[in-house]
Structure 1
Amino acid sequence: MILFGGLFAGAVLLALLLDAVFGEPEWLWRRMPHPVVVFGKAISFFEKRLNHPQDQTALNGRLSGSFSLAILLLLGAGLGTLLQVGAMALGGLGYVLIAVIASTLLAQKSLYEHVERVASPLSHSDLSAARTAVSMIVGRDTSKLDEAGVTRAAVESLAENYSDGIVAPLFWLVLFGLPGLICYKIVNTADSMIGHRNERYLYYGWAAARLDDVLNLVPARLTMILLLFSPVSLHKDRAVSFQPWSRFFADARRHRSPNAGWPEGAMARRLDIALSGPRFYEGILVDEPFVNETGRRQIGAEDITLALRLYHRACLCQFLIVAMLGVLAVI
């Protein structure tokens, strides 16, 4: 961002504000496709033509997936460059256009709203409605979740999606502008669509899954820092040193994802709750270890509300950090 100057910093700040205020306006996306939907259709186009799981080897499956992802990234980088260069040539109005485009690929408000929709019915003891709401943001089976299970799922989703839905795209936007943002969202969308270890995508989705891990490596740890140290008063909050740091780092590394354990661990530590743990996928029990296993396990709607409060404060802190980077760009 410093390379692009102070006006670009202003565009990034405006993008954060637009996303925080307007989120995902349904009236707009009913009339035109969301950029992520376009990315998804492009990913599906290549997958249907190049992925043949029944007669592919590990090598040609990975090569096919890598080739299709490389083409998509070249197209995304080219599109982002054209949009950014063209907009910057327009002066001040062009930077507003950059902000509007970037805001569509961030998810501050929509993430808050999706998680809040879980807390609301849960606070009124409507477990069925809470299960339905949390099923919209997690991939696990939700039909058997009790109150604590629904709460864990919602808080985990908040922490993980804060990392890869907000901090990571913002990180790549700050570093490389619109090309960086668009390329990140292409990879992240591809990972969510084809980065699964099942028969169809085991080899073809390998490149998307591995590259998504790499691109989220730094943002996940930045998210951890934001969640651990954002100043906010939390009911039942303890100092972040309530257990040895070695235990925290060990918990993060035990997570099935190389990145998700860091924001989830930070959230668990601040709220003094246990996250992750055993859960069902497609009727099969997956015995995941708990993150912060000594934390409280009898949790409910109040803990989701506290997690949202921490998330809100972390978003404010990241806005101030971007503003400071903008000042450095001007100096």
Structure 2
Amino acid sequence: MTAALPSWTALLSPLFLPLLALAGWALDRRLGEVARWHPLIGFGTLAQRIEALFNPLTAVAETTGHELRGGRPLGLLAWAVAVLPAVALAAWLCAQPWLGAVFHVLCLYFALGHRSLAEHGARVADDLARGDLAAARTHVGWMVSRDTTALDDSGVAKAGVESLLENGNDAVFGTLFWFLVLGGPGAVLFRLANTLDAMWGYRTPRFLRFGWAAARIDDLLNWLPARLTALTYALLGDRATALGCWKAQAPAWDSPNAGPVMAAGAGSLGVQLGGAAIYHGVEEIRPPLGAGRPPERRDLGRALALIQRSVGLWLAAALLLGAVAVLTRATLATLAGAPHA
């Protein structure tokens, strides 16, 4: 007797998510962010209301400057209330017959920020090319959380390159990674967790304890994608310098994930990042990242090109691995179904 051959659907399943990832990325590159009613904007509004409900003593903390006790459990509960229903809804939609693939693609499209990131970086580069420093400060301020009002041309370029490299992981590669692992629900989980970290993950009296869960969960979800992003940056640029900067400089950076990404990215581009920056009115002296000269306007375009090449490599690798898995399954199925001598 011969074994029953698996269906073509089962054989082709390793290519399912890579192909949908390609479709979601293409949709983002073609359409960009929707102008109105973007789900992430709505989620941000919802997160503000949830934080006001679960973190009601923030006014006391901000007035006294003292850390609030007992905020971590409430912060974890608030994170769950904000994120888990949306992930459950995404999982239900993606499990629907026939339309499931469409919902997978839409989840990735709304979670992915590749074109938006490119547009922000290009806008700052255009401002600097025109000599409009005021506009460049304003527009780079849309990308970073530091004070940009006193930055010169080099400071604007540095802030822009840092944001592009770090957000390349947060808005693009981390989202792609979790989509390739868990499909649409994975992309939604990662992007919402990353959004809450950006909103709640500050070391201020208001968020030091309440935002602890959001920051730690984002660190956990980002750990592997960040290192794959750093490795990709290194492979597509000055490899030796990037790997050396990653090893020597990343441990000194506060963020366990931003450090590898930005050190490897800066080393790959041959520029020096880090140094002084003003956050919430306080100057911070950050460890150096990368090696070489200070960033210039043209380095914004170089950083965008590095991210673009990296996306191409990720998608090609995902499709190649999927194709290899399909061929392996087909070969094993053929061997299993061959008549015995």
TM-score range, shorter chain: 0.7 to 0.9
Q: Give the corresponding residue for 1:240.
A: 239
Superposition deviation, residue 241 in structure 1: 1.9
Matched, 1:295 2:292: yes
The letter of the residue matching 1:60 is G
Cα deviation per residue 1:82-110 (whole Å; 9 max; x = unaligned)?
01101xx11xx542342123211101111
The letter of the residue matching 1:8 is L
Q: How does 1:240-319 map to 2 (within 5 A)?
A: 240-242=239-241, 245-292=243-290, 294-297=291-294, 299-319=295-315
* Structure 2 residue corresponding to 1:98, chosen from 101, 104, 112: 104
CA contact (8 A) 1:10 1:326 kept: no
Once residues 246 and 92 of structure 2 are traced to their aligned partners in structure 1, the CA distance between those partners, rounded to angstroms, is 44
* Structure 1 residue corresponding to 2:49, chosen from 29, 45, 53: 45
Q: Give the corresponding residue for 1:21.
A: 30
CA contact (8 A) 1:123 1:302 kept: no
CA contact (8 A) 2:112 2:171 kept: yes
Q: SS at the partner of 1:62? A: helix
Superposition deviation, residue 225 in structure 1: 1.3
Q: How many residue pairs get matched? A: 311
Superposition deviation, residue 302 in structure 1: 1.4
Cα deviation per residue 1:123-150 (whole Å; 9 max; x = unaligned)?
2222222111111101111111111111
CA contact (8 A) 2:157 2:296 kept: yes
Q: Give the corresponding residue for 2:76.
A: 66
- What TM-score results when the alignment is normalised by the length of structure 1? 0.87
Task: Provide closer, same or farther for how the CA distance between residues 111 and 328 of structure 1 changes in structure 2, counting only shifts above 3 A.
Answer: same
* Structure 2 residue corresponding to 1:172, chosen from 171, 178, 186: 178
Superposition deviation, residue 246 in structure 1: 4.7
Once residues 84 and 167 of structure 2 are traced to their aligned partners in structure 1, the CA distance between those partners, rounded to angstroms, is 26
- What TM-score results when the alignment is normalised by the length of structure 2? 0.84
* Structure 1 residue corresponding to 2:166, chosen from 141, 160, 171: 160
Once residues 158 and 100 of structure 1 are traced to their aligned partners in structure 2, the CA distance between those partners, rounded to angstroms, is 24
Superposition deviation, residue 25 in structure 1: 3.4
Task: Provide closer, same or farther for how the CA distance between residues 81 and 252 of structure 1 changes in structure 2, counting only shifts above 3 A.
Answer: same
CA contact (8 A) 1:276 1:290 kept: yes
**What is the identity percentage for the equivalent residue pairs of Structure 1 and Structure 2?**
35
Query: CA RMSD of the aligned region, Å?
Result: 2.2
Once residues 266 and 173 of structure 1 are traced to their aligned partners in structure 2, the CA distance between those partners, rounded to angstroms, is 24
Q: SS at the partner of 1:278? A: strand
Task: Provide closer, same or farther for how the CA distance between residues 190 and 228 of structure 1 changes in structure 2, counting only shifts above 3 A.
Answer: same
Superposition deviation, residue 119 in structure 1: 0.6
Q: How does 1:94-133 map to 2 (within 5 A)?
A: 94-133=100-139
Once residues 3 and 60 of structure 1 are traced to their aligned partners in structure 2, the CA distance between those partners, rounded to angstroms, is 50
Once residues 3 and 39 of structure 1 are traced to their aligned partners in structure 2, the CA distance between those partners, rounded to angstroms, is 35
The letter of the residue matching 1:12 is A
The letter of the residue matching 2:111 is L
Once residues 62 and 229 of structure 1 are traced to their aligned partners in structure 2, the CA distance between those partners, rounded to angstroms, is 39
Superposition deviation, residue 35 in structure 1: 1.6
Superposition deviation, residue 329 in structure 1: 4.8
Once residues 176 and 248 of structure 1 are traced to their aligned partners in structure 2, the CA distance between those partners, rounded to angstroms, is 28
CA contact (8 A) 2:117 2:164 kept: yes
**Gapped regions of structure 2 (runs ≥ 5):** 1-10, 328-341
CA contact (8 A) 1:274 1:290 kept: yes
* Structure 2 residue corresponding to 1:140, chosen from 117, 141, 146: 146
Which one has a bigger Cα radius of gyration? 2
Once residues 49 and 108 of structure 1 are traced to their aligned partners in structure 2, the CA distance between those partners, rounded to angstroms, is 33
The letter of the residue matching 2:132 is D
CA contact (8 A) 2:245 2:264 kept: no
Q: SS at the partner of 2:102? A: helix
Q: SS at the partner of 2:112? A: coil
The letter of the residue matching 1:48 is A
Task: Provide closer, same or farther for how the CA distance between residues 283 and 290 of structure 1 changes in structure 2, counting only shifts above 3 A.
Answer: same
Once residues 16 and 120 of structure 2 are traced to their aligned partners in structure 1, the CA distance between those partners, rounded to angstroms, is 32
Cα deviation per residue 1:44-64 (whole Å; 9 max; x = unaligned)?
232111113348985521111
Task: Provide closer, same or farther for how the CA distance between residues 131 and 57 of structure 1 changes in structure 2, counting only shifts above 3 A.
Answer: closer
Task: Provide closer, same or farther for how the CA distance between residues 124 and 155 of structure 1 changes in structure 2, counting only shifts above 3 A.
Answer: same
Task: Provide closer, same or farther for how the CA distance between residues 8 and 329 of structure 1 changes in structure 2, counting only shifts above 3 A.
Answer: farther
Q: SS at the partner of 2:179? A: helix
Once residues 212 and 277 of structure 2 are traced to their aligned partners in structure 1, the CA distance between those partners, rounded to angstroms, is 24
Superposition deviation, residue 5 in structure 1: 4.1
CA contact (8 A) 2:173 2:225 kept: yes
CA contact (8 A) 1:169 1:185 kept: yes
**Larger displacement relative to structure 2 (213-222 or 34-43):** 34-43
**Gapped regions of structure 1 (runs ≥ 5):** 232-238
